[in-house]
Structure 1
Amino acid sequence: MDGILLVNKPSGMTSHDVVNKVRKILHTKKVGHCGTLDPDATGVLVLCIGKATKALQFLTSEEKEYIATLSLGEATDTYDSSGTVVETKTFEGVNDVEATLKSFLGPQKQMPPIYSAIKVNGKKLYEYARNHEEVKIEPRDIVIQSIELLQQEKNTITFKVQCSKGTYIRSLCVDIAKKLGYPGHMSKLVRSQSGHFRLDDCVTLEEIENGDYHILALEQAFAHYEHYVVEDENIVIHGKMIQSDIDHQVVVVNQMGKVLAVYGPNGQGYLKSIRGLF
């Protein structure tokens, strides 16, 4: 029971709720998730099972794809439909929606929502919000790689976006709404892809309960990473460095292709072990 389980997270559950549910179904405490999804959101949640939990930090992908629905005319304190309405404006139509979406392409600074788990001075932002405490929120560097209008119907806009790790789609929705001249909030969110893991490859919690699931081996999970083959895997097992001029992280495998560890440069002509995965 070691490997990667791709779950289509249902709405109404936190990512940790899903982890706890899978722990009970699979009878193991060794379950962790890669990349949190908001309770209202659905879609790709990558779970690491057993020894694969060692790989969590490497499978939290830098790039994600979402399908989001923006509702214009009402803003909420949480930036999504679960929050309290704080501003309204009668919807009278919008122009240049596609051009507005395209204006968000590229690197930029984004202000995260106050209702988020980002920590400031050791305390999560949503804790400040719930206690009605003042806190300074710093903008974060994000990148929007692509954004595409999928549907526009009355006061709702559905779009697909590919973005960097750390992007808040709720904030993106609010910023798009402002540019269109309305208060707004994210009314629906589906994570359709996380790294190379796609929604089509995910299973539901019901399917897992029924035994209808497949656990991916680490070899499959790391198939898109650059591999470094070693003849003697004892080098890796004992955490020894490897002489090399490679200047980035690689997955070290034995001659049979079995994943052994992730190595990275030490800046002195060697690769050093970052994490053993055996």
Structure 2
Amino acid sequence: MSRPNPAASNVPAGVLVVDKAPDMTSHDVVAIARRSLGTKKIGHCGTLDPMATGLLMLVVERATKIQDLLMSEDKEYEGTLTLGATTSTQDRQGEILEEKEVPAFSREQIDEAFAAFTGDFEQIPPMVSAIKKDGVPLYKLARKGQEVDRPPRPVYVTKYDIRRIELPEVDFSVDCSKGFYVRTYAHDIGHKLGCGAHLSALRRVRSGRFTLDRAISVETLKTAPREDLFKAMVSLAEISLMRGA
């Protein structure tokens, strides 16, 4: 549906929370929002992989100035890891590199592996990531079959919950720091258990004080009247109150 294109000054500043659909990039969502809201001044707070769904915060107009502040806050994810297979991307979209038999792990053994990655620790980022090496994103090097050393990065997990065990699958939730790779978390837990693992599903449900309660679907973002999208935005004043500023 075509919309008249008002001056950018008519677009309110704030955060629009979108529930990202699978099989699209975070940039795809930004592109849709630019058309729907009638402004180019939009960014997002924290990339979600195409496979992942869930909370994607779009900062609009003057809210782009607090993008780094919002991105620095803790996140909560719900995911599924599949034991017995490691992949080139550490998730189900990669090529299988190695397969191993999955022993009949007890809940205690699986919990012990998760518990090894709580508190402060370090992660080696995956090659298929947006981190740059000499100005080039690692995923571009990975596409060429290149692998480079990635320095470990400090991260932390404040809480995890094992929600379902039906081997080879394990459903979990995790509260973690910014810059945390849930793909790598699944990979490392699989390594700890000795049989390998990859991330097979992922959904972000919280970022800082933002949850999916305020989220609109991608379909709504595409089709709703512009004024309705403006009303769905979280204003800068409300964000200050949420953050206790």
Q: TM-score scaled by structure 1? A: 0.78
Displacement over 6 Å in runs of 4+ = none
Q: How far apart, in 2, do the equivalents of 1:92 and 1:60 lie?
A: 39
Q: In the alignment, which residue of structure 1 is the partner of 2:235?
A: 217
1:23 matched to 2:38? The reply is no
Q: How far apart, in 2, do the equivalents of 1:102 and 1:153 lie?
A: 19
Aligned residue-pair number: 227
> Given the alignment, which residue of 169, 185, 191 partners 1:172?
185
Alignment of 1:195-210 (within 5 A): 195-208=208-221, 209-210=223-224
Q: In the alignment, which residue of structure 2 is the partner of 1:154?
A: 167
5+ residue gaps, structure 2, are 1-10
SS at match of 1:162: strand
RMSD: 1.4
Kept in 2, the 8 Å contact 1:64–1:194? The answer is yes
1:110 matched to 2:110? The reply is no
Q: How far apart, in 2, do the equivalents of 1:221 and 1:149 lie?
A: 32
Q: How far apart, in 2, do the equivalents of 1:21 and 1:220 lie?
A: 24
What are the superposed Cα offsets for residues 33-60 of structure 1, whole Å, 9 maximum, x if unpaired?
1111111111110001122222212221
Q: Looking at secondary structure, tell me which structure has more helix per residue.
A: 2
Q: In the alignment, which residue of structure 1 is the partner of 2:3?
A: none
* 1:142 Cα offset (Å): 0.4
* 1:198 Cα offset (Å): 0.5
Q: How far apart, in 2, do the equivalents of 1:70 and 1:119 lie?
A: 27
5+ residue gaps, structure 1, are 228-278
Letter paired with 1:7: V
Letter paired with 1:97: I
Structure number with greater Rg is: 1
Identity across aligned pairs (percent)? 41
* 1:226 Cα offset (Å): 4.4
Kept in 2, the 8 Å contact 1:93–1:155? The answer is no
1:141 matched to 2:154? The reply is yes
Letter paired with 1:4: V
Kept in 1, the 8 Å contact 2:20–2:217? The answer is yes
Q: How far apart, in 2, do the equivalents of 1:134 and 1:206 lie?
A: 38
Tell which has more relative contact order, 1 or 2 (C-alpha 8 A, sep 6+).
2
Q: How far apart, in 1, do the equivalents of 2:137 and 2:126 lie?
A: 11
Q: In the alignment, which residue of structure 2 is the partner of 1:53?
A: 64
SS at match of 1:78: coil
What are the superposed Cα offsets for residues 204-259 of structure 1, whole Å, 9 maximum, x if unpaired?
011222245411110112223343xxxxxxxxxxxxxxxxxxxxxxxxxxxxxxxx
Q: How far apart, in 1, do the equivalents of 2:48 and 2:207 lie?
A: 11
Kept in 1, the 8 Å contact 2:127–2:147? The answer is no
